[in-house]
Chain A
Amino acid sequence: MSYMSAVDVKARKKALKKIERAFSKLVKDILSGKAPTLVIRKRTLANTVFDAERGLLRIGNATLRRSFLNAGEAKKFMQTVLIASIIHEALKNDEYPTIRDLYYRGKHTIRFRDLVTSRIREENTWDEQKESDSVIRDLEVLIDMLREEMLILSKEKGKVVGDMRIKSGDDIIDLSKMGHGAYSIEPTPDFIEFKDVNAEFVLVIEKDAVFQQLHRAGFWKKYKALLITSAGQPDRATRRFVRRLSDELGLPIYILTDADPYGWYIYSVFKVGSITLSYESERLATPSARFLGVSMIDIFGSDKLKKKPYLTEAERKNYIIKATDTDIKRAKELKSYEWFRTKRWLEEINIFLKKKAKLEIEALTSKGLRFLMDTYIPEKIETGDWIA
Chain B
Amino acid sequence: MASEATAEKFRALTPSEFFYRNRELAGFSNPARALYQAVRELVENALDATDPHGIHPTIKVILQKVSAERDNIFSISVEDNGIGIPSAQVPRAFGQLLYSSKYVLRQTRGMFGLGAKMAVLYGQMTTGKSVEVLTSTITAKNIYYFNIAIDVKTNTPIIHEKGVYRKNNGWHGTVVKLYLEGDWTRSKSKIYEYLKRTAIIAPYAEIVFEDPDGTITYFERSTRKMPPPPREVKPHPKGVDIEMMKMMLKATKAKTLLEFLIKEFQSIGEVTARRLIKNAGLLPDMKPHELSTEDVERLVRVIKSDTKIKPPSANHLSYVGEEIIKVGLKAILKPEFVTAVTRKPSVYEGHAFIVEAGLAYGGEIQPEDRPVLYRYANKIPLLYDEGADVARKVVDRIDWSHYGVTFPAPLVILVHICSTKVPYKGVGKESVADVPEVEHEMELAIREVARRLKRYLSKKKREREEAERAVAIAKYIPDVARGLAKIVNNVKEEMIEKELLKMLNMKLKSFKINSVSDVVVSIE
Q: Are A and B co-members of a single complex? A: yes
**CA of A23 to CA of B504 in the docked complex: distance in angstroms?**
20
Contacts of A276 in B (CB 8 A): none
Contacts of B518 in A (CB 8 A): 113, 115
**CA of A123 to CA of B471 in the docked complex: distance in angstroms?**
12
A115 contacts B470, CB within 8 Å? yes
A111 contacts B521, CB within 8 Å? yes
A89 contacts B476, CB within 8 Å? no
Is B507 an interface position by the 8 A CB rule?
yes
Is B398 an interface position by the 8 A CB rule?
no
A84 contacts B476, CB within 8 Å? no
**CA of A112 to CA of B524 in the docked complex: distance in angstroms?**
11
Q: How large, as a class, is the contact surface on chain A?
A: 35 or more
Report the nearest A residue to B500, measured CB to CB: A30
One of A70-78, A159-167, A362-370 at the interface: A70-78
Contacts of A19 in B (CB 8 A): 487
A31 contacts B499, CB within 8 Å? yes
Is B480 an interface position by the 8 A CB rule?
yes
B524 contacts A75, CB within 8 Å? no
Which chain A residues in 17-63 approach chain B with CB under 8 Å?
19-20, 23-24, 26-27, 30-31, 33, 35-36
Report the nearest A residue to B484, measured CB to CB: A27
Q: Size of chain B's interface in residues, with CB distance under 8 A?
A: 39
Is B440 an interface position by the 8 A CB rule?
no
A77 contacts B476, CB within 8 Å? yes
Contacts of A109 in B (CB 8 A): 523-524
Is A114 an interface position by the 8 A CB rule?
yes
B468 contacts A20, CB within 8 Å? no
Report the nearest B residue to A125, measured CB to CB: B479
Report the nearest B residue to A120, measured CB to CB: B521
B519 contacts A113, CB within 8 Å? yes
Contacts of A78 in B (CB 8 A): 476, 479-480, 483
Contacts of A88 in B (CB 8 A): 486-487
**CA of A27 to CA of B500 in the docked complex: distance in angstroms?**
10
Binary contact readout B488-507 vs A (1 if CB under 8 angstroms, 0 otherwise): 11010001100110111001
Report the nearest B residue to A78, measured CB to CB: B476
Contacts of A113 in B (CB 8 A): 471, 518-521
**CB of A15 to closest CB in B, whole Å:** 12
**CA of A20 to CA of B491 in the docked complex: distance in angstroms?**
12
Contacts of B468 in A (CB 8 A): 71, 114-116
Report the nearest B residue to A25, measured CB to CB: B488
A81 contacts B520, CB within 8 Å? no
**CB of A103 to closest CB in B, whole Å:** 15
**CA of A69 to CA of B476 in the docked complex: distance in angstroms?**
10
Asked whether A74 and B476 contact (CB < 8 A) given A26-B484, A81-B483, the answer is yes
**CA of A33 to CA of B487 in the docked complex: distance in angstroms?**
19
**CA of A3 to CA of B85 in the docked complex: distance in angstroms?**
111
B464 contacts A116, CB within 8 Å? yes
Report the nearest A residue to B518, measured CB to CB: A113
A110 contacts B484, CB within 8 Å? no
**Total contacts A to B, CB within 8 angstroms?**
116
A112 contacts B483, CB within 8 Å? no
Report the nearest B residue to A76, measured CB to CB: B476
Is A341 an interface position by the 8 A CB rule?
no
Contacts of B472 in A (CB 8 A): 71-72, 74-75
**CB of B459 to closest CB in A, whole Å:** 14
Is B125 an interface position by the 8 A CB rule?
no
Is B454 an interface position by the 8 A CB rule?
no
**CA of A125 to CA of B474 in the docked complex: distance in angstroms?**
14
Report the nearest A residue to B491, measured CB to CB: A27
Contacts of A20 in B (CB 8 A): 487-489
**CA of A115 to CA of B467 in the docked complex: distance in angstroms?**
6
Asked whether A108 and B523 contact (CB < 8 A) given A31-B499, A69-B503, A78-B476, the answer is yes
B484 contacts A112, CB within 8 Å? no
A111 contacts B471, CB within 8 Å? no
A110 contacts B475, CB within 8 Å? yes
Contacts of B486 in A (CB 8 A): 85, 88-89
Is A82 an interface position by the 8 A CB rule?
yes
Is B482 an interface position by the 8 A CB rule?
yes
B483 contacts A68, CB within 8 Å? no
Contacts of B475 in A (CB 8 A): 110, 112, 123
A84 contacts B523, CB within 8 Å? no
Contacts of B511 in A (CB 8 A): 115
Contacts of A116 in B (CB 8 A): 464, 467-468, 471
Report the nearest B residue to A112, measured CB to CB: B475
Is B522 an interface position by the 8 A CB rule?
yes
Contacts of B520 in A (CB 8 A): 110-113
Contacts of B482 in A (CB 8 A): 85
B507 contacts A68, CB within 8 Å? no
Asked whether A33 and B503 contact (CB < 8 A) given A71-B473, A74-B473, the answer is yes
Which chain A residues in 65-124 approach chain B with CB under 8 Å?
68-72, 74-75, 77-78, 81-82, 84-85, 88-89, 108-116, 120, 123
Which chain B residues in 37-70 approach chain A with CB under 8 Å?
none
Name the residue among A71, A82, A108 with the largest chain B CB count within 10 angstroms. A71
Task: Please name 18 pairs of A and B residues whose Cβ atoms are closer than 8 Å in the assembled complex, sorted by A.
Answer: A24-B487, A30-B503, A33-B499, A33-B502, A36-B500, A70-B473, A71-B468, A75-B472, A81-B479, A85-B486, A85-B487, A109-B523, A110-B475, A111-B522, A112-B475, A112-B521, A113-B520, A115-B470
A78-B479, A85-B482 known; 20 other A-B pairs, CB under 8 Å?
A: A19-B487, A27-B484, A31-B495, A33-B503, A68-B473, A69-B473, A69-B507, A71-B469, A71-B470, A74-B476, A81-B483, A82-B479, A82-B483, A84-B483, A84-B487, A110-B476, A110-B478, A110-B523, A112-B519, A112-B520
User: Which residues of B are in contact with A by a Cβ distance under 8 Å?
Assistant: 464, 467-476, 478-480, 482-484, 486-489, 491, 495-496, 499-500, 502-504, 507, 511, 513, 518-524
